[in-house]
Each structure stands twice: as C-alpha cells, then as structure tokens.
Structure 1
Amino acid sequence: MAAKPRALKTLAALTAVLGALVLSACARDIPYETLKAKYANPASKFVTLPNGVSVHYRDQGRPDGPPVVLVHGFAANLDTWEPWVTRLGDTYRVVTLDLPAHGLTVTPPGYEMSTGGQVEVIDELTRKLDLPAFVLAGNSMGGGASWNFALAHPDRLRGLVLVASVGPRPQADAAAPPREGPPAIFQVMANPVGRAALRSLNPRPLAEPGLKKAYVDESLVTPALVDRYVDLALAPGRREMILAGRRGPPSASPDAVKGVSVPTLVMHGEKDTVVPVGVGKRLGELIPGAQLILYPEAGHVPMEQIPDRSAADVRAFIESLPATKSPEK
C-alpha cells in the first residue's frame, strides 16, 4: 500500500517541476564562441580527434610529473576538477577534459553519446598527448567511462580512482532506511514527457535545486556555478544529444566490473543522492583488491566539497603504486 502514496508524491513533484519548466519558457542555444569566451581560460586547449570530436582539455601541473587524467560526470565539465588540479599539480601532470556532449567539446553532426565513445575519446586524447602509463580518475558517469577504459586498456594505466562512480546497483537491504530520492532532474529524465520538455525548455529552474542536492553544502552552489551548468547545457544541440534515450544514472554488470585488473581506489560520499553510497560499496567489493574510502559528510562531488581530504587520499593512493609501468603501444 505504501507504494501508491510514494508514486503519487513522485507524480506531484514531476508535475510541479514540469510546470516550472513551462513557465520558464524556451531557452535558445548559446553559440560555442560565446561559451568559449566565457569559460575557456589560458590553460584551455583544443584538439580534433580522428572521429571528428574537437576536445577541450587542460594539461596542467608539473610537466614532467607522473600523469593523472581526470574525467568529469554527467552534465558537468572539467572545471569540477580544478580543486584537485590546485592540490596535486605541484607533483603530478594533471590532464582534464570535457567529454563529448559536455563543456566546450564540440561533436560532429550525428554523433551519439555513449560509454564506448567516452572510452575512445580518453584513449585518443591521451595517445595524442603521448602520455606514459597514467592514473585515471572519474566522477559519476566519468567513473563509468574510467572503469570501462580500465577493462579495455589495462596496460595503459598505473591506477584507477572512482569518485562517486556509477556501477552495479547494490543488493537490496530490507533493513536499510529509505534513502532520499535523486535530484528532480533525474526524475524528469526518467519520464519520456520530461525528457521531451528538457530538449527545448530552459534548464535553469532545475539546476540550482539539483546542484544543492548533489553538493550537499549549499554554500558551494554559487550563482557562477549555476550559470556554468546552465550555459554549457545550452550549447548548440547539447540538450538533444545529452538527453537522447537517457533515463538517469546507468547501472552495470557485476561480472564486468570484476574484470578490472589495475590497482583501484573507490571514493564515495555517504550523503550522495545521485549515485547511492551502496554503489560505491559494491564497486569496492567487486573490483579485486580495491581500496574503499567513505566520506560521512560528503555528497556526489567530494573533489569539490572536501578537496583537501579527498586530494590527500588520492595522493596517498598514487604514492602507494609501483613507480613505473610500461604502457601499451
């Protein structure tokens, strides 16, 4: 009987959200040149890959240091990693990138967003930069791309860091208290009518409340942060591409994750409402030899919410790895 009231409550929330979107009216695309003028910085670089994707990336930190590659999550961009770039750049060469359909990366007509495409972009970019074996870290959707990269190219990695990563759903626990629902944006995306509305309407009414749930610490959700998420979501064709068929955070096969063979650190905030902490625990159980660190007060983006502690944990993990490893040619 409890399921019906919950369903009605969810329907009411969706109706309110969609009503707000309709009232906000349509939002036009923002040209890439306008976005680049606002969000690129002196460290920004662009390279066109063989598949026609023009990737926005930054190659920062110590040029001769051991390389670390950082991959952002869904609807985010490479700026999410700047706190780690600041804290790790004295020792490591830190490469960040915007995935296809995100940030300032431009895709060719007809490009379809997929995990396989993300793996391909990471592979092609790191080869163009002639990186030796590197540590790969990914947040959320970028975590899924990262562990899939580890499955496809284990010889190119020294280590893997999964930050609030998507992965196999946790096993049901009848004794566990019900968790807080995901941000409204994912509830809307799970509904075909909601996805259709988001393709043309202004995402701003959903952005601020969704970010506050993801960040937990609402003081981090500044007007500039909200503007960045909204503006980059309005890149030409971006809404259509990013929402095509998407219904929320993806899951994965436990058997697939068990195939990860590189040293792995799993990091997860216990207050994460986007990817529940049970997913992080499951990844820690399934990946052979994985180290698991849980943060009681953190949400979905510990690299931004608790940058000092999370960066220190990553540094300790990297320092524990073998000094050298010959990359795949």
Structure 2
Amino acid sequence: MKKTIRIILLLLVVLGAAFFILRTPDTDRTEMIAKYGNEASRFLDDGHGGKIHYRDEGNKDGPPILLIHGSNSLLQTWEPLVVLLGDKYRMISLDLYGHGLTGPNPTGAYDAETNIATAVKILDAVGVDKAYWVGNSRGGWITWRAGLSVPDRTSGLVLIDASGAQIEQTGTPYLGARLAQSWIGQLLLPEITPRFLVKSSLEESFAQPERLTEELVDRYWELLRFPGNRQATLDRGKTPREPEKWGEVGTLKMPVLILWGEQDQVIPLAHARAFAAAIPESTLITYADAGHLPMEETPEQVARAIDNWIENVAAEAAAPNQG
C-alpha cells in the first residue's frame, strides 16, 4: 500500500513539474495591443465590460465591406485584401469575441446571433447601414446566418470556405481543433499551447505550407494566448451550431458569392458545391492552389473575384433604373 502511494505521489510530482516546464502563459494585453494594433485600431465598449477591437480602413466613400474571420483567427487575416481593395472599398474588420485583441465575451456567449449582433454594433459605430459581408470558415457561417437574421444590413454575402453545410462528406479539423475536442485538450490547452501546435494547425490549413512565415505563426500563437482567448476557444467549441438552420439557406435573397480553396482539407470542396446548389443564383469560384485560407494564400485572386462580383451586383441593381 505504501509503495502504491509513493508511486502516485511521484507521478503527481512529475506531472506537476512537466506542467510548469511546458506551461505557456498568457501574453501581456498592453504589449499585444501595442504590437498588433495599428493606427486604424479602435476599441468599442460593448456595454458588458468588454471592448471589441475593430478597424475601419480604405476608401470611406467606397462601398463598405465587412470582414468576418474564422475560428482561432483574427482580423489580420484580411490585411492582404485591405491592401488590395482599400483604394476602392471601405474595409471594416473586427476581432470577434475570444479572438485577437478583443478577448473573451464577458457574458460567455459565442453563438451565431451574439456574433452577428457584435458585427452590427461595429457597423453602427462607423455609421454604415449596409455592407457586403465577407466571412471565412466559421466567419462564413456567421455571414450566411447574418443573411437570414439581418438581411437589411447586408448588400451581399461572400462565403470563403464557409462552415455550416449539412452534408455527409466531412473534413479533417486541424490539429489544434482536434485537441480542443478531447478531454486532455480541455484540461491542458488553457495553460499549455506550444508554438508547434499553432504552426502545425496552420500548415494543415494551407495548400502550400511553405507560404507560411514565422512572423505569421508568431502572430497567431501570441494572440491565441491573449488573456482569456484560450478558455474562450474551448467555451466556443461547446456552443450549439444549430444545424437545422441549413434548411433555411435557400431562402437568402441577397447576392451570394462562394469562394473555395480546392485543397481545403478542413471543409472540403463538396461543401462549396452544397452551398452553390442550395442558394439560388449564387456564384461559385474555386482555386486550385489554395486550401482553407485562400484570402491569405492567394489574396490577389480573391480580391479580383470580390471586386468583379461587386461590380456586377451594382450594375445589375442599376440596370432597371437605366433608360
């Protein structure tokens, strides 16, 4: 009996030591804001004790585009598009709750309607009535859900490797997401998040991992460890995704553009085709050389597609008034 107790105590000591050796603490809030904010960064008081980080950039007189990032991402994922489209369009981006420089939601809510209401608050703050909503991955899910919930605030929707399609073919979540779904991940990830885990997850999201830079990996890793974001990631994963809403996607009335990386292993191309089949008169464009994040891998192609599509939407809207 005494021997068993000694073994248990030894294991506890070893595990405790391993925890302190491997532990990756939160980053410093002030330091992260200084490092990853820019002159366009603003923080909107949400009325619940939180502050939503957003940017309002580009041509203030141009058509507004609202950019919604995916899970474990951040508004910087849109920086290439802001550069490419900013001369012509007003580019509005935000860090959703539990991401980037916004941090966790003080109310603990991470459902679609909460995210949509947060995005609408940003539109109100910058004085924009309607915008083209552009969303990637979970942000794409929020985007098409916004088309159902607040159609009067949407000029059109762009779904980039969006989640939410209810079909048999499923993808393979990246390593970090797989760990977050396990009991060991639930236990350890709020305290232990090694950099290689973030890098591996990003590599699985890129068709050509060599496009990843160390600077980009550092940004994802450091902002994942922004105070409260790791626990928010786990809490967000427990939020019901309301799969029954897929049955309403065909009722979307606004123009819809669907963009997809053909090498996406997280949300396979079959989901793009499901969206295209379900949404009347939607437009589907795919990229042979992109994975789950085409706006980061092939931003020129994505920017060109969005620009051409908005031009066509505007031309069709104006046509009945001509002549």
Q: TM-score, normalised by structure 1?
A: 0.84
Q: Secondary structure at the match of 1:244?
A: helix
1:72 aligns with 2:72: no
1:29-48 alignment, distance < 5 Å: 29-48=26-45
1:209 aligns with 2:206: no
Q: Secondary structure at the match of 1:219?
A: helix
1:153 aligns with 2:150: yes
Per-residue deviation at 1:245? 6.0
Per-residue deviation at 1:236? 1.2
1:194 aligns with 2:185: yes
1:237 aligns with 2:228: yes
The answer to whether the Cα contact below 8 Å between 1:266 and 1:290 also exists between their aligned partners in 2 is yes
Per-residue deviation at 1:221? 1.5
Partner of 1:301: 293
Q: Deviations over 1:238-257 (max 9, x none)?
A: 11111126179958333132
Percent identical among aligned pairs is: 33
The answer to whether the Cα contact below 8 Å between 1:249 and 1:274 also exists between their aligned partners in 2 is no
Structure 2: which 5+ runs fail to align? Answer: 1-17, 319-323
Q: Secondary structure at the match of 1:46?
A: strand
Per-residue deviation at 1:193? 2.2
The answer to whether the Cα contact below 8 Å between 1:113 and 1:242 also exists between their aligned partners in 2 is no
Distance 1:274 1:138 in 2: 16
Q: Which amino acid aligns with 2:269?
A: V
Distance 2:213 2:238 in 1: 27
The answer to whether the Cα contact below 8 Å between 1:208 and 1:226 also exists between their aligned partners in 2 is yes
1:88–1:228 Cα change, 3 Å? same
Q: Which amino acid aligns with 2:125?
A: K
Aligned length: 299
Q: Deviations over 1:150-173 (max 9, x none)?
A: 11111121110000110213345x
Per-residue deviation at 1:322? 3.3
1:1-329 alignment, distance < 5 Å: 25-107=22-104, 109-172=106-169, 181-244=172-235, 246=237, 252-253=243-244, 254-322=246-314
Partner of 2:9: none
Partner of 1:4: none
Structure 1: which 5+ runs fail to align? Answer: 1-20, 173-178
Q: Which amino acid aligns with 1:215?
A: F
Q: Deviations over 1:270-300 (max 9, x none)?
A: 1112212211211111122211111122101
1:245–1:87 Cα change, 3 Å? closer
Q: Which amino acid aligns with 1:148?
A: R
Q: Deviations over 1:81-103 (max 9, x none)?
A: 01111111111111111111101
Per-residue deviation at 1:220? 2.3
The structure where helix makes up a greater share of residues is: 2
Q: Which amino acid aligns with 2:199?
A: E
Per-residue deviation at 1:36? 0.4
Q: Which amino acid aligns with 1:229?
A: Y
Distance 2:238 2:45 in 1: 30
Per-residue deviation at 1:205? 2.6
Larger radius of gyration between Structure 1 and Structure 2: 2
